[in-house]
Amino acid sequence: MVLYPVSAVLIPAIQQSFGEFYTRADAVPMQILAFGGVDKMRVSADPQFLDADGLELEFEEYSATADVALPDVQGAIDILAQFQNAHNEEFIFTSPIFSRTVIRDVTPPKVERVSARGVIADEAGVLWIREVGATLALDIEGSDVHSAVAEVAVIHNVDNSSGDPDAISFDLLNSPGGLTRLTRNIGLSGGEGSKTIWVYLRDRAGNTSAPAPLQVVVDATPPILAEPPLIAANATADNVLKGLSAQLQFQFPLDDASSLTEADAPVVMRVGDRQSHRASHR
């Protein structure tokens, strides 16, 4: 009797990145190449070849392809295959177990931080710039738990919409995993006014993050004083001042870009009977 050794190669028919196979699906399609005269096989992600009911899987007819159900876990999962040569009922040869590892990741990456170099944000996180059509250099931080950030997209639409992530062009990254830091440039289209920049991240398994917004206001028009530019806010209707001090207030008309008004940003100057005077902007 001559025994021929069995060899096999298991190839997941999914995306490969940095030498690993990543998926976010509940099952993985496998290509199965077996040599050595085998005619039976069983393939499973269970280390004991048990089915959903806890029963041991039977050997079935050999096939070059198979869809293997994955457990509801994330991380590295071993796909196992075992073969038999059952041509001779008196001697059935069972092969060793062959394996291939896939990484299951169903959690989207997270945009941790987005900022623009050289631009200071206000208390609400809004960026204010004076240049129409400016190009901003964005510093972006993102993270992914079970695989790695693999792609990034930075968009600015004229209508400020976040767009459809399935229709957006992503740039590939060479990220090792964990916390990812990168820089991308984005040009602002249109004129003055409020604009929204959106940042997307995608991991190696194909999960896409929620869009992270960055609010920018372009205001290239200086404010213009109203007529009269200066009033005594505490004077009577006929401009009679009663008392020893005057509250002088500059008047600003509505600014379309920044919505600056007299009520929102008055410049107050108090003049009294003391030698020292103080001006403040509130």
DSSP state string for 210-238? PPEEEEEEE--S-----SSSEEETTS-TT
DSSP state of 165: G
Considering only CA atoms, which of 257, 248, 186 is closest in space to residue 217?
257
pLDDT of residue 265: 45
- What's the rounded mean pLDDT across residues 204-224? 92
Query: Which has the higher per-residue pLDDT, 255 or 87?
Result: 87
pLDDT of residue 107: 97
pLDDT digits (tens, 9 = 90+) for 67-110: 999 999 999 999 999 999 877 677 788 899 999 999 999 999 99
Indicate the pTM of the whole model: 0.76
pLDDT digits (tens, 9 = 90+) for 172-205: 998 888 899 999 999 998 889 999 999 999 999 9
Tokens of 9: 């190669």
Percent of the chain with pLDDT over 90: 61
Phi/psi for 213 (5° steps) reads: -85, 145
pLDDT of residue 256: 55
pLDDT of residue 252: 64
Q: Report which secondary-structure segment, H or E, holds 140.
A: strand 135-144
Average pLDDT of the residues of the chain: 85
pLDDT of residue 276: 37
- What's the rounded mean pLDDT across residues 10-22? 93
Tokens of 223: 């404010």
3-class secondary-structure state, position 198: strand
Give 63's pLDDT tier (boundaries 50, 70, 90). Answer: very high
pLDDT of residue 266: 46
pLDDT at 34 over 80: yes
pLDDT of residue 105: 97
- What's the rounded mean pLDDT across residues 53-67? 95
CA 59 distance to own-chain centroid: 44
pLDDT of residue 37: 83
75: left (phi over 0), alpha (psi -120 to 50) or beta: left
pLDDT at 166 over 60: yes
Query: Which has the higher per-residue pLDDT, 181 or 251?
Result: 181
- What's the rounded mean pLDDT across residues 1-28? 87
- What's the rounded mean pLDDT across residues 38-54? 94
Give 14's pLDDT tier (boundaries 50, 70, 90). Answer: very high
pLDDT of residue 277: 37
